Structure 1
Amino acid sequence: MKITPRFFPSLLITIALSFLAPMAILGLLLTLSTAVSLCSGVAIELLTESLANILKVFGNGRIWEGILVIAITCGFVGGIFETFNFYYYQNTH
């Protein structure tokens, strides 16, 4: 089976976007919840601490390392899906 030149740029773009999306979403969510907790009550602070605890679990005690682990995993899965889609489309058409 011949790999077309269109596959690698598409794969790299998919991996990059799959990596950057969770980093941006989790970073913004953590930043916004921290900023809102400075202004308002306890409920948002509990949400911020819960999110931080979840990220610490994935990051071996560090929040940003947890975000990085989740982003790398999403990039890997995005690459697998792109590869599957490419080969599936080639075999059906």
Structure 2
Amino acid sequence: MSFLAPMVICGLLLTLCAAVGIFPGVTVELLTDAFSNILKVFGNGRIWEGVLVIAIACGFVGGMFETFNFYYYQNMN
């Protein structure tokens, strides 16, 4: 779950920005460009690689949190 949630959220944001950009009179190009640039920084110039790097980092942190909780509540009982 810690790995999939960031991938789904980033994918939904990119899809939403692209879908809203189709309608005339709506300008979300600045938001789309800013979000894409952030992902390109993490992904060495590739958007989906940036999403993958963020998802792996979140998955690693989630796994560490679950391990900590497992050992913490195991010693309390």
Moved more, 60-69 or 31-40: 31-40
Within the alignment, does 1:41 sit opposite 2:33 as a pair?
A: no
Q: Unmatched 5+ residue regions in structure 2?
A: none
**Cα shift at 1:41:** 2.9
Aligned length: 76
Q: TM-score, with normalisation over the residues of structure 1?
A: 0.78
TM-score, with length taken from structure 2: 0.94
Root-mean-square deviation (CA, aligned residues, Å) is 0.8
- Determine whether 1:21 maps to 2:5: yes
Task: Output aligned runs, 1:1-93, within 5 Å.
Answer: 17-39=1-23, 40-42=25-27, 44-93=28-77
Give the distance between the partners of 2:19 and 2:46, measured in 1 at CA. 19
Give 1:85 deviation, angstroms. Answer: 0.2
Distance 2:22 2:29 in 1: 8
SS of equivalent to 1:27: helix
Identical counterparts, % of pairs = 72
Q: How far does the alpha carbon of each residue in 1:54-89 deviate from its partner, in whole angstroms, 9 at most, with x for none?
A: 000000000000000000000100000000000000
